[in-house]
Amino acid sequence: MSRGVRVDALNAISTPTAWILLAASMVMAAGSLTANLLAFEVDELTARATLQQAMHASTVATLTFSLVAGLVSATSDYRFGRIDQLLLSEPSHRAVVAAKALVGAGVGVIYGLFGGIVAVAVLRVFYSVRDVPVDLTSTVVIEPLVGAVLASALFGMIGIGMGTAIRNQPAAVAGGLAMLLVVQPPMLIGLPEVGRWLPGAAGLSMTFNPDDALLGALQGGCVLVAWTALAVIAGWRRLVALGAG
């Protein structure tokens, strides 16, 4: 499986789409953070709730793009027939999916780290321009960033699992975005007892989001790990059942 991880990692860094998505995620994270901060008056900027809200807006962008990167990576293997070559080299479907999931997690970590770097840079510049002091080492900044790195890794793996199961790229990306951005937010508001257990809400929980409707960070992490396992197993079983197509 180590060979599979190496070749999938090589594929990820040598494909323009991965870099374009990473750049887009950083732009979106910076944009979300800035837009949120701009909504507050100067005297509100020192409030803990202000920083929390702004930080969580940026983590949503990171998690979303991490999921999309996984979806695009997995479905590109079918689109270009790369899955054939992977299986001809490593006939074990389980090893192929496991290698891809590990690389998806690695890509997610990179998205999380770069999103964090962008968030810290934006905060530093924004508060400096407004001449307002900010402690970038406070838990209100660090916790969401650390949580986002971990959640982003899991979202990358979910993207790989979903993409391997769905195969069709437009359907997988549209389905993933709809699940995360259209279906789950209203469920979290209207039916929180169900919505908080869904992957999007579990991911937000991991970033120490203080929303009362969400689970705690650790509980949310466990729920997201379960969703990740489900997605990866679904992808693996679908590959076993249908083959490379």
Partner 1 sequence: MSVVVDGLTKDFGAFRAVDDVSFGVPSGQVTGFVGVNGSGKTTTMRVMLGLLAPTAGSTTFDGRTYSDLPHPRRSVGAVVDRIGAHPGHSARRHLTMVATSAGLSLGRVDAALDEVGLLDVADRPIGRYSMGMTQRCALAVALLGEPETLILDEPANGLDPAGIRWLRDRMRAWADEGRAVMVSSHQLAELAVVVDRLVVLRDGGVVFVGSVDALQSGPGSLEDAVFDLLVDDSSVPVATPTQNSTPAVTS
Q: Site residues (CB under 8 A) for partner 1?
A: 3-4, 6-7, 10-11, 14-16, 76, 80-92, 240-245
Torsion angle defined by CA atoms of residues 162, 60, 205 and 5, in that order, rounded to the nearest 10 degrees: 40
Q: How far apart are CA 214 and CA 201, in angstroms?
A: 7
Instruction: Give the shortest CB-10-to-partner 1 separation in angstroms.
Output: 6
**Residue 229 C-beta: closest distance to partner 1, Å:** 23
Among residues 87 and 134, whose Cβ is nearest to partner 1? 87
Nearest Cα neighbor of 11 from 90, 99, 124 is 99
Q: Which is nearer to partner 1, 14 or 137 (CB)?
A: 14
- Token pair, residue 212, equals 């009362």
Minimum CB separation of residue 153 from partner 1 in Å reads 23
Closer Cβ to partner 1, 227 or 236, answer by number = 236
Closest distance to partner 1 from the beta carbon of 100 (Å) = 12
Interior CA angle at 74 toward 55 and 59, to 5°? 0
Closer to partner 1 at the Cβ: 1 or 189? 1
Calpha distance 235→238 (Å, rounded)? 5
Q: Which is nearer to partner 1, 55 or 71 (CB)?
A: 71
CB of 162 to partner 1, least distance (A): 21
Alpha carbon separation from 191 to 186, 187, 197, 199 (Å, rounded): 8, 5, 11, 15
- What's the chain's Rg over C-alpha atoms? 18
Structure-block tokens of residue 202:
């579990």
